């Protein structure tokens, strides 16, 4: 696989005809769910201008690499996961959005199961941040994050994508907590169950929860394909 990640960005932004060339990157808002909270995976920026600030995970796109593939590569490299839910959101192309040169970036968001992640830290620090406690991010990543988060909120209203944040087996309570964390509001339990079950997207596993300090709930799995629609 083509790896653009190890190259310095300046080898991709080359002065020709008197001006800098354009580089392409992808940036991913990788969402996870833990402790009833929606989280996003961030990395400590290595740019001197943004010392100590966090940024989304991204990388330059190699000239021989499909754009979508680059986003999958970033996910694979950082979380170890393949076949994850990935959605393209928007492309940010202001001339001065990146301090080092012209970088047009395409934003994606991904929904992953935090427990399955095997984070690859490399030289920088990775951390799952609660989306309700976001501090200022490096570059224009706050704008990119907000765009991704809104896109996810719109998506989940009528597309069943919440499972991707959960283990294969889950209870309706856990699924409801996912929806509540994404939408930022509490939902009526009976109406939620009614709506989800009427969609006929869940398969009853005839198993119940274990090790819960209350009456255990039924376990379900998604009866379809949890991959992205993109392929």
Integer Cα distance of 119 and 117 in angstroms: 6
* Binding residue (CB under 7 A) for DNA from 90, 142, 173, 221: 173
Q: Using CB distances below 5 to 8 A depending on partner kind, what does residue 65 bind out of DNA, a copy of itself, none? A: a copy of itself
Identify what 19 binds: DNA, a copy of itself, none; CB under 5 to 8 Å per kind.
Answer: a copy of itself
Which of the choices a copy of itself, DNA, none does residue 200 contact, using the CB cut-off of 5 to 8 A by kind?
Answer: none
**Tokens matching residue 24:** 């392409």
CA distance 166 to 220: 11
Q: Rule CB under 7 A: is residue 195 a binding residue for DNA?
A: yes
By CB under 7 A, tell whether 190 contacts DNA: yes
Min dist. Cβ of residue 218 to DNA (A): 4
- Minimum Å gap between C-beta 191 and DNA is 4
Q: Does 136 participate in binding DNA (rule CB under 7 A)?
A: no
Query: Which residues, 6 or more positions from 185, have their beta carbon under 8 angstroms from its beta carbon?
Result: none
Site for DNA contains 36 (CB under 7 A): no
- Residue 11 or residue 121: which is nearer to a copy of itself going by CB? 11
Give the one entry of a copy of itself, DNA, none that residue 91 binds, where binding means its C-beta sits below a cut-off of 5 to 8 angstroms depending on kind.
a copy of itself
Angle made by CA atoms 29, 104, 99, in degrees to the nearest 5: 90
In angstroms, rounded to a whole number, what is the distance separating the alpha carbons of residues 4 and 49?
22
Residues forming the site for a copy of itself (CB under 8 A): 11, 14, 16-17, 19-24, 61, 63-68, 70, 88, 90-95, 102, 104, 106
Stretch touching DNA by CB under 7 A, among 19-27, 110-118, 159-167, 191-199? 191-199
Q: Is 214 in the site for DNA (CB under 7 A)?
A: yes
191 near DNA, rule: CB under 7 A: yes
Residue numbers at the binding site for DNA (CB under 7 A):
171-173, 188-191, 193-195, 208, 211-218
């Amino acid at each position: 696989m083509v790896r653009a990640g190890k190259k310095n960005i300046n080898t991709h932004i080359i002065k020709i005809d008197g001006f800098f060339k354009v580089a392409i990157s992808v940036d991913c808002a990788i969402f996870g769910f833990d402790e009833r909270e929606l989280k996003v995976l961030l990395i400590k920026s290595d740019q001197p201008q943004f010392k100590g600030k966090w940024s989304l995970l991204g990388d330059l796109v190699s000239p021989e690499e499909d754009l979508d593939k680059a986003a999958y590569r970033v996910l694979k490299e950082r979380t170890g996961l393949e076949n994850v839910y990935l959605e393209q959101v928007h492309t940010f192309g202001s001339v001065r959005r990146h301090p080092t040169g012209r970088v047009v970036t395409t934003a994606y968001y991904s929904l992953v199961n935090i427990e399955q992640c095997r984070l690859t830290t490399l030289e920088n620090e990775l951390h799952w941040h609660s989306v309700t406690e976001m501090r200022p991010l490096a570059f224009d990543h706050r704008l990119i994050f907000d765009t991704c988060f809104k896109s996810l909120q719109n998506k989940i209203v009528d597309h069943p994508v919440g499972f991707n944040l959960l283990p294969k087996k889950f209870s309706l309570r856990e699924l409801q907590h996912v929806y509540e964390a994404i939408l930022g509001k509490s939902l009526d339990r009976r109406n939620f169950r009614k709506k989800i079950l009427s969609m006929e997207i869940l398969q009853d596993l005839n198993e119940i929860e274990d090790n819960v300090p209350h009456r255990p709930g039924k376990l379900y799995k998604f009866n379809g394909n949890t991959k992205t629609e993109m392929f």
